[in-house]
Structures are given as structure tokens and as C-alpha cells.
Amino acid sequence: MSSGWPFSRSLFYPVTVVLVALAVLPVALAGWGFVSSNREQVATLEKQIMSRQSAALAREVELFFHDSVDRIETVAMAIGRGWGEGWGTPLGAARLLGDLIQGNRHIVLLRLLDRAGAGEFVQNRELSASVEGTLTPLLKEAFTANLEGRTVRHNFISTGGGTAVALVSFPVRDVAGRTVGSLQGVVSLDWLASRLLEEGGQGVSVDLVDRSGHVLFSTERQRVGRVAAGHPLVAQFRQAPVRITRAYRDPLAPGEAEVVGSLAPVEGVDWGVVSARDMGVAFAAVHSMARRAAGLALVMGVIATVAGVLLAWRIIQPVRRLAEVSSAMAGGDLARRVSIASRNEIGRLAANFNLMAGEVERTVNSLRVALKENQELLVEAIRALAAAIDAKNPYTRGHSERVSKYAVAIARQLAMPPAEIRNEEIAALLHDVGKIGIEDAILQKPEALTEAEFSAMRAHPLKGAAIVGPIKRLREALPGIRSHHENWDGGGYPDGLKGEAIPLIARVIAAADALDAMTTTRPYQEAMPLEVVLVRLRELAGKKLDPRVVDALFAALRSGELELDVATEVA
């Protein structure tokens, strides 16, 4: 090993890259493990906190209704026991009502009515006209229901302006169990709204929802009144009022933020309390630790990368040159070679690659020459076979050669790939090869063919396909041989194909065949002038021939790529 920079002699030193990685990985893995462990612990703790908070608030809501609604019911029962027949409203009822409304600041309205609708009325605070307008029809309906012995309870009535009340109406029954009146009460729910607001902050949101999924109260104003049916906890609550705590994406939060939440049902009321904390806030400390760990790993990574890049550059450059040359050779540039700048393993690899590339170039060039010769030989053999078939009838001599020339010109106008154009040429040369199996008497008959003779003639596409089918090199041309007498409108033979179901290679041959048939003399017709032929081709488009192929034929005539003996302007 020489003194100085040693990379030109050995690839041993790339092992240092592994050592650099080992300097970064322990820090990254330790940091990741520490962050993951703390994240799990924080998640568990947050679930416990949210569960306790939602349960405590649910209990407070339960007590709120118990202290107000349930006490109104108790007073209704007490008043009923002192209501004697024919006595009217008991004398002590007013005092009971006054004590109740003074002892509970949430009850804003009480009224005791007899069956005629008259009675005591106690009000703790003034109600606005809009609130009275909202409550009046509900109180009337409740009074009617009470007289029928039914209790009415509306746990939530929105009165506008962000306020809400609960309305309860109990039938008053005397000692005999007869309904003698009605005790109605209105309870303000403002305390619930303010109590929830006290629980907000630091990424915590608290919602009070009903069983239909509506948000009744929330620490965030924009959530109030929204339907939370798609909320994971609320969806579970709607099915069954059970406690549940989990992490989820909050559909009511901006961007559907990920949160840890808990839902606790409120006993006695079809409501549930949902407490949730934003994961970003809950895991702020964890994220801070993760950032510090990532920063340390980044510093280590930068140091390791500088050393690694210098080393990798020395290794990658010759490999990259080798890859570029091999890609160029794969693209056809077989003369490219790799420059050799070192004597290490990569240098020897480059030298061996150059030797291999030289052998590949010589082999490929010889194969190209052989392939070209084979292709030319194949085409010439096919031309000879086609000429022999055409020679069976003096009227069709040169027909296959002309059809092949026309078909190639049309295929080029259709922008077909070179390989398909080659198949088109071969298929056109062989399109009548099946006539080998047709009697000469039928082929050379100058008069119109009988039905039996025409039936025999119609068999030549199938005979041709049977002849060519076993030859692997010609299978791509097989659809053109079998289907060149199919008509665009479905009236052709042998399979009765229609439209795009006819292979394109066959549609091109059909147009070229029709052009040659009309421009050459046959036993049953004289060659037509080109002007007549062009009109006839337009008539056949969409019936016997593919309109797109006919357009390509005309384009080939206009461009001069398709040449006929008769010269005329093509419209």
C-alpha cells in the first residue's frame, strides 16, 4: 500500500462508511426509543385525566338537574298532597314556590295552575319578549299534557342570543291520585355554559352533546349547534350511553386535529360530556425532547456525512461512469467505452467491461447483418410466393406486390410503428396465399362465378390463415390474411366482423386491395379511371372500408407516397 491518499489502491476504506453510520444510529435509536416510551406514558396519563374530567363534569350536570328539575317535581308532589277536593290551590303553595325559587337561582320561572289554568305565578327574573314568545306555546302544550296525566320535560330549549333553558311541567295529583293542576318550571342553563368554559384552555375542549349528536354547549363557540354524528365518541354514545376513552381525529376541530378524548354519559339526562385535549398540546414536552434528540442526531449526521461524502465520491464516480456507458450501450451506442483511472477493484472491473463491450459490439453487429439478410430473404421469398400465386391468373399478375406497396403507404400515413408496417407489408404480400387451394378453373374463369364457385372462392382467407398459421415468424401477419375481406359494416367474410373489431392490419389491406382491383383490368371489368375510383372509394368508406383508412389512402395519394400509373389530382 503506497503512502499518501490510499483510495486508488484499495476499497477497504469504504468500511469507514459503516463506522460513520454506527456513530449516528445509536443516538437516533436511543432518542426514538425514549420519545416513543414517553409518548405512550403521556398518552396513558392524558386518557386518565380526560376520563376523570368528563366523569366529574357529567356528575355535576346530573346534580344540576337533580337540584332543579327533581326539586320542582318534589314540590309538585307536596302541593298535590295538600290539595283537597273543592279547596282550590292550597294556602301554603305560594310559600313553597317562593322558597324553591329563592333557594335555587337557576329556576327563573314557576307557576302553579289549577285545571282551569288559573293559579300562582312566581318569577325569579325578567324574561325577554323573544324568550316568552318561545316558551308560551310550549307551556300551553305542556299544561294540556299535564291535565291528561303526562309529565313534559324539555332538557334543552334554545332561546337565542347564545342562551338556553330547560322546561319541565308536572301534573299535580291529590291524595286520591286525581290530576288537579299543573306545576311548570323554567330552568336557566347558563350555569352549564359557564361551567364548561372554566374547563377549557391549554388545548382542552369540552362539549355537552345530546343523543342525536348535537353539540349543546362547548368551550369553543364555533362548535355549539354543530352536528357531531361523525365524531367517534359521539357515534358510540348514540348507539349506547357508555363511557369510552380513546385517541381519534376530531371532525369538529380545524383540520380534524388528533386528540385524546373521553365521553361520560349524564345519568337521568340523554346527554354526554366529551372532554378532549389536542395531541399537539398534550405531547408538547415529548415533541420538545424529540426535537432535541433529532438535533443531536442531525449534528452527528452532518459530521458523519461530510466524511462519508468524501469517501463515497471517490467510489461513486467511477461506478457512475460505468453505469452511463452501460446505459449508452443498452441504448444502441456499442462503441462507448469506460475510461480507466485507477488500478483498484473498480479499475479492473472497468477494464473487463471494456473487453466485454468490444465482444458484444462485434457480436451484435454480426447479428444485425444476419438479421437484415434474413429479413430480406424472408421478404423476397414471400414476394416470390405471392408472384407465383398471382401468376395462376394472368389478370392478377403483380396484384399482391401492388397491394403490398399501397398498404405500406397507407400504414405510414396512419403513423403505424415500423414493426407493424413490416407486418403490413408481409400480410399484404400473402393476403391471397389461400388461393393456392382454389381450383384454377375458378380463378381463371372469365365469366361471373356461380354461387358454389363463389363460396369456394370465399374460403381462401381461411385457407391462407391455415397455411401461414404454423409459421411463427408470420403469426403477426395472420390477422391481415384472415380478415382482409371483412367489411366495416359487418357484411364481409369469413367471420362477419364489424368496425373496430376488424384488425387494423386487415382494414388497411382491404383498402389497398379495393384500390388495385378498381385500377386494373379483370375478367369481369375494365380498369376504371382514377377519378371514378376515388369517388367509389369515398362511397365505400363506412360501408365496406374503414373511413379513417380511406382518409389515409387519400393523404398518401396527395403526398405522392402512393403512386399510380394514372396521374390526376386527388381531392
Is 507 part of a structural domain of the chain? yes
155 sits in which H/E element: strand 152-160
- Is residue 492 in a domain? yes
Q: How far apart are CA 542 and CA 499, in angstroms?
A: 9
Number of independent structural domains in the chain: 1
Residues facing residue 28 across a β-bridge: none
- Asked, as a colleague might, if the bond just before 494 is cis with ω within 30 of 0, I would say yes
Closest CA to 139 of 160, 109, 97, 99: 109
What is the residue type of 338?
V
Q: How far is Cα 553 from Cα 537, in angstroms, rounded to an integer? A: 10
pLDDT of residue 567: 40
Cell triple for 315:
467510489
Question: Within a domain: residue 243?
Answer: no
Look at residue 53 and tell me if it is in a domain: no
Tell me, yes or no, whether 305 lies in a domain: no
CB distance 137 to 182 below 8 Å: no
Provide the grid cell at 393: 391468373
Please tell me the predicted confidence (pLDDT) of residue 473: 80
Separation between Cα atoms, residue 286 and residue 279, nearest integer Å: 10
**Is 238 within the bounds of a domain?**
no
Q: Nearest Cα to 152, choosing from 165, 139, 163?
A: 139
Please check whether residue 197 is in contact with residue 184, taking contact to mean a CB–CB distance below 8 angstroms: no
Domain that holds residue 493: 391-559
Residue 311 three-state SS: helix
Q: Are 89 and 119 in contact (CB under 8 A)?
A: yes
Average pLDDT across each block of 10 residues of the chain; the chain has 571 residues. List them in order: 45 56 66 65 82 92 89 87 66 81 86 85 75 88 92 89 86 88 90 86 87 90 86 90 90 87 91 88 67 70 67 66 71 69 69 75 72 62 64 64 91 93 88 79 74 84 86 86 92 92 94 90 78 92 94 93 59 38
User: Does residue 415 sit within a domain?
Assistant: yes
Residues 6 or more apart in contact with residue 511 via CB below 8 angstroms: 406, 407, 410, 537, 545, 546, 549, 550, 553
CA pair distance 386, 295, nearest whole angstrom: 79
Whether 463 is in a domain gets the answer yes
Residue entry with cell 405510414:
412
Burial of 5 per CB tally in 10 Å (0-12, 13-18, 19+):
exposed
pLDDT at 290: 65
User: How many Å is the maximal CA-CA distance in the chain?
Assistant: 134
pTM above 0.75? Answer: no
Q: Please give the pLDDT value at position 387.
A: 64
Closest CA to 63 of 109, 110, 104: 104
CATH of the domain at 544: 1.10.3210.10
